[in-house]
Amino acid sequence: MSVTTLPSPIAESRPDRPVAFWKGEGFPLIPVLILLTIAFVAIFADLLAPHDPQIGSLARRFRPPAWQHGGSMEYLLGTDHVGRDVLSRLIFGARVSVIVGLAAVFVAGAIGTLLGIVSGYLGGWVDQVIMRLTDTWLALPALTFAIFLAAIVGPSEFNIIVILGGVYWTRYARVIRGEVLSLKEREFVRLAIVAGCSKRVIMWRHILPNVINSAIVLATLMLGVVIITEASLSFLGVGVPPPKPAWGLMLADGKKGLMVGYWWLTVLPGLCIMGMVLSANLLGDWLRVKLDPQLRQL
């Protein structure tokens, strides 16, 4: 009898080619492009802006955007109530938003992460004190508190950064502390203790690098909140002082013109704020999903 080995229905598997992460599923391409554009614009504002954002001529006030009747290519997005070019102000406003936003998020993150690590790892009375401090701080309404502080110390870019950082660190502290509590039960921390590492070394070498991911995700999510707060502060007149352009300030100035149809004075800065905040949130969401599962596997 002949050998009958019927073909086994097992197909050969296709080789697994690695795929670049930006082509991966769910990568928020548009939000990242928007954020990169805003950052680019902020850095090269001097080169990009067609006009000086702080000087206007009253003869040219309330010019509408170029595509509307009465507008011109010279002032692409129109002019405001003192004749300043809206496009240039938006471009320089990006600089304020990016700088204040990133710096404030960094300050808040640094304070919050540090306190979260110390509180979570050391436990005991240190933990109690820091947590009660956090609770108290959280109980204060953030925006009101920020306004209060800004009114006291006086508005300036530096002050705003410190104030925003000082108001928003609590979210970090809470989240990071939670992560640290579960991290410190992990075997590699126990092994570090067995190896003779001091508490300080453990917090720096073992705890911190493993909470950075969460801190980054939180940062992208907080960016939106911080920008809105900064815009609100500017809108209320206690933010970055005029005539330096800030998107929130432009909203405040422009609201007078809404009733008479000068829509570009509010809608355009509003769109910029929305664009940046939405993009930051979407990026944060994607980062959280991407970084979290890996964290869980560890």
Partner 1 sequence: MTAVLEAAGLSKHFPGRRGFFGGGDHGVVRAVDEISFIVESGKTLGVVGESGCGKTTTAKLVLGLETPTGGCIRFDGRDLAGLDKSGRRHYRKSVQAVFQDPFASLNPRMRIDAIIAEPLTTNETITPDEVRRRVLKLLDLVGLPSRSADLFPHEFSGGQRQRIAIARALSLSPKLIVLDEPVSALDVSIRAQILNLLSDLQAEMGLSYLFIAHDLAAVAHMSHDIVVMYLGKIVESGDAHSVATNPRHPYTQALFSAALPSHPEEVREEIILTGEVPSPLRPPSGCRFHTRCQHAMPRCSTDEPASKSVSGRMVACHLY
Partner 2 sequence: MPNEPLLSLEHLSAHYVSQQGRRVVRAVDDITLTLNAGETLGIVGESGSGKSTLALTILRLLPPAARIVSGRMMFEGEDLLDKSDAEMRRVRGKRIAMILQDPMASLNPLFSIGDQVGESIRVHEGASRASAWTRAIALLKSVRIPSPETRVTQFPHEMSGGMRQRIVGAIGISCEPRLLIADEPTTSLDLTIQAQYLNLLSDLQKEHGLALIFITHNLGIVAKMCDQIAVMYAGRVVEKGPVTRIFNTPAHPYTKALLNSIPRMSDNRQRLTAIEGQPPDLASMPPGCAFAPRCAMAFDRCRVETPPEFILDEGRTARCWLAAPEAEAETVPARSAMA
Question: Residue 3 binds which entry of partner 2, partner 1, none, with Cβ cut-offs from 5 to 8 Å by kind?
Answer: partner 2
In terms of phi and psi (left: phi > 0; alpha: psi -120 to 50; beta: otherwise), the region of 242 is: beta
Binding mask 103-142 for partner 2 (x = CB under 8 A): ----------------------------------------
Min dist. Cβ of residue 44 to partner 2 (A): 37
Distances (CA, A) of 46 to 49, 72, 91, 285, 293: 6, 22, 9, 33, 42
Query: Nearest approach, Cβ of 189 to partner 1 (angstroms)?
Result: 8
Cα–Cα dist 167/207, whole Å: 24
Question: Does 73 contact partner 2 by CB under 8 A?
Answer: no
The site string for partner 2 over 20-49 (x = CB under 8 A, - otherwise) reads ----xx------------------------
Interface region with partner 2, contact rule CB under 8 A, candidates 5-13, 91-99, 159-167, 182-190: 5-13
Instruction: Report which of 218, 208, 226 is spatially closest to residue 116, judged by C-alpha positions.
Output: 208
Q: Which residues contact 208 (CB under 8 A, 6 or more apart)?
A: 113, 117
Minimum CB distance to partner 1, residue 228 (Å): 33
Q: In the window 205-224, what residues touch partner 1 (CB under 8 A)?
A: 205-206, 209-210
Say if residue 65 is preceded by a cis peptide, omega within 30 of 0. no
Which residues are within 8 A (CB) of 14 and not within 5 positions of it... i.e. 6 or more apart?
Answer: none
Local structure of 79: helix, strand or coil: strand
8 scored as a contact of partner 2 (CB under 8 A): yes
190 in helix, strand or coil?
A: helix
Question: Which one among 7, 154, 209, 261 touches partner 2, defined by CB under 8 A?
Answer: 7
297 binds partner 2 (CB under 8 A): no
Q: How far is the CB of 16 from partner 2 (least distance, A)?
A: 5
For residue 297, state whether it binds partner 1 (rule: CB under 8 A): yes
- Regarding 123 and contact with partner 1 (CB under 8 A), the answer is no
Compute CA distances 86 → 50, 51, 96, 228, whole Å: 10, 9, 15, 20
